[in-house]
Amino acid sequence: MSEAFERAMAAFEPAHWPLAVGFSGGADSTALLAACASRWPEQLVAFHVHHGLQAAADDFERHCEAVCERLGVPLIVHRVDARHAPGDSPEDAARRARYEAFAVMARADAGRAAIESIALGHHADDQVETLLLALSRGAGLPGLAAMPAHARRNGLNIYRPLLSVPAADIRGWLAERDLPWIEDPSNGDARYTRNRIRAVLLPALEQAFPQFRATFARSIGHAAQGQQLLSELAAQDLETVGDPPLVKALQVLSRARQANVLRHWLMQSHGCAPSAAQLDQLLDQIRACTTRGHRIHLKVADGFAERKGDRLHWYNAPPSPKT
C-alpha cells in the first residue's frame, strides 16, 4: 500500500540544510514530517501556521506540539490573520498568508541559521484537484502545469516530494506506524470547490479511469514543459522589443507572441497579470496603432497600459497630466 510513498521519500534530497516541513497536523504533512525525521533527525524543523479561522485552531496547534515532541522535531508556530477581503477567495487568502508565514519563520533566529528549504505534503490527489480547478477557470499553461515539484517563493526553495503519491498510500503508511493525524473540519465544507472535486469528481474518475493520477501527471508535465518554452521565448522577445516595449517592435511579432511577451513583461517588470479580455483589448490597440497620434490607455490588471511616445508603459495608477 505504501510503496509509492517509500519510493518518493527515497528520491527526495533537498539542496540546502536545515530543512523545514510545513506541518498542519493532517495526514500528508504528518507522514512527510515523520519520514524526514527518520532520515535527518538533526537537520529538521517543523513550521505550523495558526490561521485563526476555526475554533479548533488551538487544538490543531496542541496536536502538532504533541506529534513533534514524539518525533523529537523542534516546532515553530506563527499566527496569522488569514481572513479574506470582500470579493477575495478564502482559500487564496489563506494560501497567501501561509506562504508569507513560512518566509517569516525561515528567517534566522537566536541559535538557528536561516532556513532556505521547506517541504510540503501536497500529493497526487492534490495535484489532480489543482489541475481540475485550473480547467474549470479556463486557465492557460501556467495553471494547467499545476504545482511544481520544486519552486522558489519568498526566498525559499519549496519542495513537494509527494506529488506522485496517492492520498491513500500516505494514510496507509501512517496506519502501519500508528501515527495520529487530524482531519480539518473545513475539508468537508461543500462551499469550497476543491472539496466538491475531492468528494464527487475524484471517486468518479477512480471508477472510470483508474490510472487517472498517472495520466493526468503526464499531461501536467507536458503543460509545464510547454510553459517553460514559452517563458524562454518571451525572455528572448523582450530583449528584442525592449522594456518598456517598442510598439513597432511588438507589431512585427505574431499576435500569439505579442500576448506571450506582454504577459511576461507585465509579470517580470510590474508583478501583475492581465485578464484574457484585457490582453485581447491591448493587442487590438497595438495592431491599430499605425499613426503617431494613436492613443492607448487601457485598464490592465490593477493599473493602466498607456502609449507614451513610441513605447508601451504600465502604471499602477493613472499618470498625471504632465507625464
Which amino acid makes up residue 278?
A: Q
Sequence-distant (≥ 6) Cβ neighbours of residue 49 within 8 angstroms: 22, 24, 77, 78, 79, 80, 97, 98, 101, 102
29 is in an annotated binding site: yes
The residues with which 44 forms a beta bridge, in sequence order, are: 19
25 is in an annotated binding site: yes
The residues with which 156 forms a beta bridge, in sequence order, are: 153
271 is in an annotated binding site: no
Rounded Cα distance, 304 and 319, in Å:
9
Contacts 24+ apart (CB under 8 A), 239-242: 242/311
Rounded Cα distance, 53 and 98, in Å:
12
Rounded Cα distance, 26 and 197, in Å:
19
CB burial class (10 A; 0-12, 13-18, 19+) of residue 110? Answer: exposed
88 is in an annotated binding site: no
243 is in an annotated binding site: no
The cell for 47 is 513550521
DSSP code, position 83? P
28 is in an annotated binding site: yes
187, 166 Cβ separation under 8 angstroms: no
Residues in binding site: 24-29
Residues in binding site for ATP: 24-29
